[in-house]
A and B are shown apart, each in its own frame.
Chain A
Amino acid sequence: MTSTATDFAFLRALLYDRAAIALGEDKEYLLEARLRPVARDLGLGSVTELLDQLRRASNGTVERRVVDAMTTNETSWFRDVHPFEALRRHVLPDRIARNAARRQLAIWSAACSSGQELYSVAMLLDSGFPELDGWSVELVGTDLSSEMVERARLGRFSGLEINRGLPAASLVRYFERDGAGHRVREELRRRCRFDTFNLARPWPLMVRFDVILLRNVLIYFDNETKRRVLDWARRQLAPGGYLMLGSGESPLGLTDGYQPVTVASTIVYQAKEE
């Protein structure tokens, strides 16, 4: 038995209510694909049964699994496209102008997963900003999971992972074949540093960043932690530095330390200068 339109409507409402995720109408095909393994794991016969369980009674553990299943495997290159356009058109030119004397730039991918986000930034800088030649550019990626950090450092991706949003021209330019998969070329890899990091615990001393990408990770925190992370991020940004969140995410209501700026069909958050 396959799921129905009412299942999809319920799921959309659940995701929005619990995790502020706005699941597009065109994502219905994901319902079966993503949730059937979860249902099977829990010994349920169908996705409808799984969602029925949640309809009847709220269950944090099951909800977490449903949310995870709907949002994992979303890791892609240049995810959502527009934020990278925003970087290219506004954020980076602004910070480069700002730092013209110091010739330094620092960018932090704060929930880097297997590294696609930071490598995407690295590719964007390399292909779009030749003026950074001779600058000291620090590209840092962190994740809670040491396994993810290891994968990111390796920079090796399967054909299926490569297909997710990577322009073909970038593949040819920045990667090399690695068996049945592909690996980021060494000259790009060596510009990126990956470490483990727990966003929810007090942060160690670090440089101040021009851009912090904190995309699609706040949903895993309660409001108190979200507030703390957003405040710490603001202090970790250089004056006028930018925070970038996932689509649909916003710091408004949790902190007023940021000024929203709309560019390239997306909103970036500039740290208010004290």
Chain B
Amino acid sequence: MRALVVDDSRTMRSILSRSLAVLGAEVEEAEDGAVALSRLEAGALPDLALVDWNMPVMDGLTFVREARRRPEWRSLTIMMVTTEGEYDQIARAMAAGAHEYLVKPFTAEALFDKLELLGLAGSADGSNDAGANLAGGEESGGGR
């Protein structure tokens, strides 16, 4: 799996990269939404983007909206990883097109559980929208 970690905190980028590396993922990092977009434009599309919300230059919500506007990036799974924990914020992110959402603080196991929901870890049987199925389908913004 190839992943892009987007967060303005080096500490959080390090924690996420390390956790993903345990799964054998190749990880790139970006410090804000604008850098993240240019990384996506520049190279091969990763499978997963973990995106913080509050960042300078371009915040995570804006990045999600921009990324989801591109049909050629439809296969990119986007999960927000943020301190924004209010249900309204979560709903906004899902409506903008995020596939999943993780509120800090989180353990490595929690991250892996979410990836399993997304069909990106554990014993995936190709049903990538298990999470969407469990949540009832119409709630998830991640139609693919």
Contact = CB atoms under 8 A, between A and B. Distances in A.
Interface stretch (A62-70, A80-88, A96-104): A80-88
A160 B102 CA distance: 10
B105 A159 contact: yes
A58 interface: no
A82 B100 contact: no
A165 interface: yes
B127 A177 contact: no
B9 interface: no
Interface string B62-81: 00000000000000000000
Contacts of B93: 168
A29 B21 CA distance: 12
Given A85-B127, A159-B103, A165 B135 contact: no
Interface stretch (A2-10, A121-129, A149-157, A194-202): A121-129
Contact of B23 (A26, A160, A173): A26
Given A127-B135, A167-B100, A82 B123 contact: yes
Interface in B97-114: 98, 100-103, 105-110, 113-114
Contacts of B103: 159, 162-163
A94 B78 CA distance: 34
A interface SS class: helix
A163 B110 contact: yes
Interface residues of B, number: 37
A264 B125 CA distance: 7
A168 B85 contact: no
A173 B117 contact: no
Given A160-B107, A168-B100, A81 B117 contact: yes
B106 A163 contact: yes
A265 interface: yes
B90 A168 contact: yes
Contact of A127 (B85, B107, B109, B136): B136
Interface of A: 26, 29-30, 73, 76, 78, 80-82, 84-85, 88, 120, 123-124, 126-128, 159-160, 162-165, 167-173, 175, 177, 264-265
7 contacts: A84-B134, A85-B127, A85-B134, A123-B134, A163-B103, A163-B110, A169-B139
